[in-house]
Amino acid sequence: MRAMTLLVMLLILASCGGSGGGGSDSGQREQETTTGGTTDGNTTGSSGGSKIDLTYDSALSTQELTSIKKSMNVLESLKISGSKVEGFSEVFGGNSTSNVIRYLNQRVNYIFSQNTEYDSRLVLNAFQSPNGFSFYAKNPSSYIWYTSVINEPRDVKIIINNQPIDISSSRIGVVNLGDIFVESDAITQAITIVHEARHSDCPNGAKASEIQRWFNGLGPIDRTCGQLHGFCAEGGSCDLLPWGPYAIDFIYSKAIADACTNCSELQKQQGQVNANFVQEAAYDIQGTLDGKYGNPNMGNSKTVRDDL
Ligand SMILES: [Zn+2]
C-alpha cells in the first residue's frame, strides 16, 4: 500500500514537472508545457501547466474524440477569476484555469468511449504461488461459467486466440497445463486431461449460494458443480463425491494398464503407477465400482437454482 502511494505521488510529480512529457494523444496541438507563471494563490511547487494531459482510448468514436478534444481546448482557453468564486481556490488550489488543469491532470488520465466498460479492459494475471505450488493441470471452467452468471444480463465472453468465445456453461472446457505436465510422460499427460475433463461437469446445475460463496472467496460446500475436490483426511486433494475426477482418473488409468491392446509394457506400467497414485484420492472407489452409489451422472446442466 505504501509503495502504491509513493508511486502515485511520483506520477503526479512527473505529470506536473518540467517540459515535454506530453500525452499519448497523437494529433494534438503544441506540446510545450509551461511551468509556473500563470498560477496564483496557494499552489505549492510547480504548476499544473497549461495543457491537459489525457490519453484517448482508441475505441473512442470519431465524434467522441472530436468532442472531448474540443471541450478540453475550450477549458484550457477559459480565463477565470476564481478569487471571485467562493470555494474555488480551496478546491482547485488556486484561482485560474491552470489550477483547474492541474486538478484534472491529477485525476483524469484516460478517456473511454460510452461503449467501453472498464472491466472489459481488466486483465487478471495468473496467480503466482509464493510457495511454488506444483500441479499437473487445472480446469477453471465452472468458475468461468460462474463469472458469466454473476454478470448477467451482461454478456461475458472469453478471449481465445483473440476471438471472443461464448460462455454458456461449465462445458466451456478450459484447462490450464501445470508445471509438472510438461515433465510427465505422454500416458500420464493423457490421463491428466481425462481427469480435468470431468471438472467441466455441473450435473445438477449450480446453486446460487455456491456461486456467491465463490465470488466472496469462500470454499465450496456443495462440490457437485465442477466436481470439485476437497482435502483428504491426511491432507492433499481428494474427491468428496463418488464418480469424481479421481474416480474417472483411476478408471482410465486401469484401462491403460489392463485393457490397452496397443500399449507398450512401459505405457501399461505408467497407467498402473497412476492408478495406484490416485486410488486413495477417489471417493470410496471400490464402493463406487460396486454400484453402491448407482451410475454416474455424466450430464451437465446450465440451470442456476436460487437457494439463497
Ligand atoms: Zn482435479
Nearest-angstrom CA–CA distance, 141 and 8: 36
β 176-177/237-239 pair status: unpaired
pTM (whole model) above 0.85: no
- pLDDT tens for each residue of 269-305: 999 999 999 999 999 999 999 999 999 999 999 999 9
Chain segment 62-91, per-residue pLDDT in tens = 999 999 999 999 999 999 999 999 999 999
Position 35 pLDDT exceeds 80: no
Task: Report how far ligand 1's centroid is from the alpha carbon of 24 (Å).
Answer: 46
Going from the Cα of 227 to the center of ligand 1, the distance in angstroms, rounded, reads: 8
Cis peptide, bond prior to residue 153, ω within 30 of zero: yes
From ligand 1's centre to the CA of 193, what distance in Å?
10
What pLDDT, on the 0 to 100 scale, is given for residue 191? 98
Who surrounds ion ligand 1 at CB < 5 A?
245
- pLDDT given at position 147: 95
171 CA from centroid of ligand 1 (Å): 15
pLDDT in tens, 19-32: 333 333 333 333 33
Q: Which residues pair with 158 in a beta bridge?
A: 165
The domain locations on the chain are 45-299
Q: How far apart are CA 188 and CA 256, in angstroms?
A: 10
Residue 49: pLDDT band by 50, 70, 90 thresholds? low
